[in-house]
Amino acid sequence: MERTLYRWFADSAARHSDLVALETGDGRHTYAELDALSRRLAAELADACGGPPSRVGLYAARNLLAYAGYLAVQRLGATVVPLNPAAPPARNRAVAAAAGLDLVLADATLAPPVLPAATLAVRLDRLGPGPRGVPDTVAASLDAPAYVLFTSGSTGVPKGVPVRHRSVDAYLAHVVPRYGLGPGCRLSQTFDLTFDLSVFDMFAAWGSGATLVVPGPYDLLKPVAFVARERLTHWFSVPSVVSLAMRLRRLAPGSMPSLRWSLFCGEPLTLRQAAAWAAAAPGSVLENLYGPTEVTISCTQYRLPADRERWPVTANGTVPIGLPYPGVEHLVLDGDGRPAAEGELCLRGVQRFPGYTDPEVNAGRFARSDGSPAGPPPDGEVPPGLWYRTGDRVAWRDGLLVHLGRLDQQVKISGHRVELGEVEAALREQPGVHEAVVLAVPDADGELRLEAACTGAGLDPPALVRGVAAVLPGYMVPRSVTLLDALPLNANGKVDRRATAAALHP
């Protein structure tokens, strides 16, 4: 039986009402309590809109209001669009405008956002009995979007990715039994709600009767202490958390005995990172996952063997991304659009999204069955038979897919997708800037950082960094800006990125 995102939670709430669904800094909350609070918030939302809304922004940090609010939107059959209070106001305004929100549910304890949509500011400690005569549950179509997330766009404008209930249902039906989830399991919640991997955290837990455990502000700097203190059984994060723990020497062997499963996604997992984590959690099964937001959270998997002698060896030192999930078809195309053993990974199936919220962005992102490019459909809905072109370069090695990097200028910074073109566009908007180029440079630990070079008149590098920070999230802000008289060009008259990198690090 297929279920909406809300139904996954509601079925668990009916079976496990007295079990703890959520642990946050403001306490422990049972399934019954979370259900009642989401019902109360749903009534407030419907009353504010004069009926069930269609698309609701959620402006809240990872606290009780954020999680109950997420469920409230879902139980109204509406689409949730998470907004990040830590992001610059300009970024949230751009996302809200592109999303076409009916309403924003905001945490009244935060500074009020100025957004192009009506805002319902709520304080849970002042929430009254609620309006009467307002429906608190509305069934959503399985083909309706459960959520819309906005990723970095190469044109300087964030791209909206709607993900349907049917896609998330197929995803949860696979991962919940695979990871043995159920009552008694305790899952980490390391991802911000604007990051699609947070949907696994919430609904793999709530769809199985498990407990979602939210870290405090500094817990991700000390993941071992967080796991040990909270007796976590399931861990899910980006691999850079491992690098940070290694750098701070907080990943001692055997230090996380409670873990049964350790999952990593969002950026390449190196064999070195995997070995360090496996030693610290010797009773844990370790899996590397891969998946763009457009193909619903994650869509390939590789389980490292328990015997270290059987671990794969790859030329780039990364753990393979493995094989696709059931219901996800894959195709590898070379530069001429022909099936190959190495090239661009293309995906389709039940987990594939229906196309970007702006239909014009679909151009060039899909391919036909013969590998030829598919133009954007006139009505914006992408036919299910088309392949989504991920832009990721992969190769078959010993029957497994290995991730080899990107075919474009997209990079991953702490698991977040960053289009270098969007950062460059933000720099060119700064007063006095003529040209800008942004590079992703590895640091001593292999983690990428952004550096920029600009040309122009009367420029102040710290002011340029502050200017970008005012419009883009922190992970998209260059660490430094170097001023050049001119950007180096190649024989074709294009910016020579390799020469630019040499100019930044002579």
> Are the C-beta atoms of 12 and 208 separated by less than 8 Å?
yes
pLDDT value of residue 75: 96
Query: How many whole angstroms from its chain centre is CA 396?
Result: 26
Each residue's pLDDT tens digit, 8-18: 999 999 999 99
Give the single-character DSSP code of 270.
Answer: B
User: How confident is the model over 397-410, as a mean pLDDT?
Assistant: 89
* Six token digits for residue 448: 């990428």
Least confident of 298-302, 320-324, 373-377, 474-478: 373-377
Each residue's pLDDT tens digit, 385-394: 999 999 999 9
For the cut 80, the answer to whether the pLDDT of residue 196 exceeds it is yes
Specify the CATH superfamily of domain 410-504. ANL, C-terminal domain (3.30.300.30)
> Are the C-beta atoms of 13 and 7 separated by less than 8 Å?
no
The structural domains of the chain, with segments of one domain joined by +, span: 328-406, 410-504
Q: DSSP readout, 104-124?
A: EEEETTSPPP--SS-EEEE-G
For the cut 60, the answer to whether the pLDDT of residue 210 exceeds it is yes
H/E element holding 426? helix 420-428
Cβ neighbours, 10 Å, residue 501: 16
260 CB-contact burial (10 Å; exposed 0-12 / middle 13-18 / buried 19+): middle
User: How confident is the model over 35-63, as a mean pLDDT?
Assistant: 94
* Six token digits for residue 393: 């370069």
100 CB-contact burial (10 Å; exposed 0-12 / middle 13-18 / buried 19+): middle
pLDDT value of residue 4: 97
CA distances from 106 to 33, 129, 157, 429, 493 (A): 20, 19, 24, 30, 48
CA angle 238, 223, 405 (to 5 degrees): 15
C-alpha to C-alpha distance for 176 and 174, rounded to whole angstroms: 6
Q: Which fold has domain 328-406?
A: Luciferase; domain 3 (2.30.38)
Q: How many residues can be counted in the chain? A: 506
Q: Which of 447, 406, 440, 449 is nearest to 269 (CA)?
A: 447
Phi, psi of 329, rounded to the nearest 5 degrees: -95, 150
For the cut 90, the answer to whether the pLDDT of residue 240 exceeds it is no
> Are the C-beta atoms of 505 and 486 separated by less than 8 Å?
no
CA distances from 163 to 176, 191, 355 (A): 19, 18, 9
In the structure, what pLDDT confidence band is assigned to residue 330 with cuts at 50, 70 and 90?
very high
Query: How many whole angstroms from its chain centre is CA 32?
Result: 28
Q: Which of 130, 83, 147 is nearest to 110 (CA)?
A: 83
3-state secondary structure at position 94: helix
For residues 467, 473, 96, 116, the Cα torsion angle rounded to the nearest 10 degrees is -30
pLDDT value of residue 497: 84
For the cut 90, the answer to whether the pLDDT of residue 243 exceeds it is no
Q: DSSP readout, 191-223?
A: S-TTSTHHHHHHHHHHTTT-EEE---TTGGGSH
Each residue's pLDDT tens digit, 109-140: 999 899 999 999 999 988 877 777 777 889 89
What ranges in 452-493 are assigned the alpha helix state H? 461-469
Query: How many whole angstroms from its chain centre is CA 390?
Result: 15
* Six token digits for residue 436: 């800008």
